[in-house]
């Protein structure tokens, strides 16, 4: 896969989202919802993606891009849900801003995935298309 430029904000936010997803998946160890093989495949891809992002490298595999998109999408969904739960106007404004930033980062990764055939297949899978 081609290399592409990743801004510092996208890189740092994506690393954070990947760490959260990793924690969530590790809590599901032994759960019937995910097989041990799928768990290992996803957690390995999360770890390698974090390393690449930390070293400011691109050239991600399709599996790495899958977990990146998954992590950022989950983060965006969580932030969007927090808007209604905000107790004050200031908290609500912060949640809206963070949700918009997460949407922008998700669009960046969607564009990356749409730039090659395997990436489009990953997007279709993640979005529930056959």
37-53 residue pLDDT tens: 888 999 999 999 999 99
Q: Answer yes or no: is 14 within a domain.
A: yes
Task: Establish if 45 belongs to a structural domain.
Answer: yes
Banded model confidence at residue 30, pLDDT cuts 50, 70, 90: low
Question: Hey, what long-range contacts does 113-118 have (CB within 8 A, 24 or more apart)?
Answer: 113/65, 113/69, 115/2, 115/4, 116/1, 116/2, 118/1, 118/62
Q: Determine, yes or no, domain membership for 3.
A: no
Sign of CA dihedral 53, 98, 124, 20: positive
Domain that holds residue 61: 8-126
Q: What is the pLDDT of residues 59-117, one digit of tens each?
A: 899 899 999 999 999 999 999 889 988 899 999 999 999 999 999 999 999 999 988 88
Residue-level pLDDT at 129: 58
Burial of 121 (0-12, 13-18, 19+ CB in 10 A): middle
Tell me how far apart the alpha carbons of residues 73 and 103 are, in angstroms, rounded to a whole number: 8
In a domain, 69, yes or no: yes
Domain count, the chain: 1
Q: Is residue 1 part of a domain?
A: no
pLDDT in tens, 8-27: 999 999 999 999 999 998 88
> Is residue 16 included in any domain, yes or no?
yes
User: 57 pLDDT band (50/70/90 cuts)?
Assistant: confident
- Model confidence, pTM: 0.87
2 assigned to some structural domain: no
């Amino acid at each position: 896969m081609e290399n592409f430029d990743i801004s510092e904000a996208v890189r740092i936010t994506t690393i954070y989202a990947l760490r959260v997803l990793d924690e969530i998946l590790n809590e599901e160890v032994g759960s019937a919802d995910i097989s041990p093989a799928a768990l290992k495949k996803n957690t390995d891809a999360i770890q390698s993606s974090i390393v690449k992002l930390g070293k400011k490298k691109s050239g991600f595999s399709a599996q790495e891009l899958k977990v990146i998109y998954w992590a950022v999408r989950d983060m965006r969904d969580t932030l969007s849900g927090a808007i209604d739960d905000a107790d004050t106007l200031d908290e609500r404004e912060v949640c809206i801003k963070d949700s918009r930033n997460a949407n922008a980062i998700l669009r960046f990764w969607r564009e990356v995935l749409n730039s090659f055939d395997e990436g489009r297949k990953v997007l279709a899978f993640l979005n529930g298309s056959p």
